[in-house]
Amino acid sequence: MPSLEDLSLPDLLSVIVPVHNEAEGLVQFHSQISKVMVATGIDYEILYVDDGSADDSVGLLNAMRDSDDRVALIELSRNFGKEVALSAGLDHARGDAVIIIDADLQDPPELIPSFIEEWRNGYDVVYGKRIDRRGETRTKILTAKWFYRTLNYLSDVEIPEDVGDFRLLSRRAVDALVSLPERHRYMKGLYAWIGFPQKAIPYVRETREAGESKWTYWRLWNFALEGITSFSDLPLKLATYLGVATSLAAFFYGLFLLVRTMIWGNPVPGYPSLIIVVLFLGGVQLIFLGIIGEYLARTYQESKARALYFVKGYHPAGSEMQKTAEKASS
């Protein structure tokens, strides 16, 4: 296997780090990611995207900028969500290749040299695949597995299981993602949808070094709905199929009752069974009205064509002289 020194290296690597209330672990993360990036021997920028943090994350990031001219910072005007923060980072990344990693150190920065090597071997997307998820409950692991199996069954695009945002993207993969116009951005699906040669690298996902996960079960549920409605219209087709099947069953059941009445007469009808059927059909109708409503709501949101995000401040990586001039003009 060739060493990094033997490979044709890019001029610049961009590392995108979405940040939301990560003050407890930012210093440790920056120290660790910087060591890894320096060891690659490639020029780089670390682009932190603050997604409306309410703690001291921005203050720490500005202090990092003062001491490290390879640190860039995007401050979004409010909390837009991780998917939008990633999109903002991709819009502003200047590198020939882009690495996405979270700030919680659950994804090991030490895997980045392997990403770079596979990219130089011709892969446009190199992603980490979790073979063990330490610190996560069995319920969360099982529900994630069921979700991805369901999504892949419903979707025309295969989305890898046990894969997050930790990955390397080539410049043409980044340009493809940036060109996509939708506002509801399920990034894990978009990474797969753009195509291009892709490769997985297995790793063990560690527990968080500091802070708490922002992903509650309610947020995960909404995230799952986002993924399904973004990459499949099968639930709408299922509503049609079930409607046809129910109508046919009702027709043949009515025909059966007609024949039975003509032959044996009309017995006292069963009130409980009638109520059960009515409640069942009413529940099915409400479920599919909800599904239709989800798709209509997303169509409505897309039709408004609002900006995906607003930037409160953008501070690119640069020299101390540039930063001094930036402070003087502010």
pTM assigned to the model? 0.68
Q: What is the pLDDT along the chain (330 residues), one digit of tens a residue?
A: 334 444 455 678 999 999 888 888 888 889 899 999 888 888 889 999 998 888 888 888 988 888 888 999 999 988 888 888 998 999 998 888 999 998 888 888 889 999 998 988 889 999 888 877 666 666 666 766 676 676 666 667 777 777 888 889 999 999 998 888 777 777 877 888 888 898 888 888 766 555 455 555 555 555 555 656 565 666 666 666 666 676 667 667 666 766 766 676 665 566 556 656 776 677 677 677 777 777 776 776 667 667 788 888 888 877 443 444 444 444
Q: Which residues contact 96 (CB under 8 A, 6 or more apart)?
A: 10, 11, 12, 13, 170, 171
Q: Tell me if residue 126 falls in helix, strand or coil.
A: strand
Concatenating the DSSP letter of every residue in 77-113 gives: SS---HHHHHHHHHHH--SSEEEE--TTSSS-GGGHH
Distance CA 50, CA 28 (A): 17
Select from 140, 148, 97, 99 the least CA-distant residue to 120.
Answer: 97
* Class of the CATH-defined domain 10-232+307-329: alpha beta
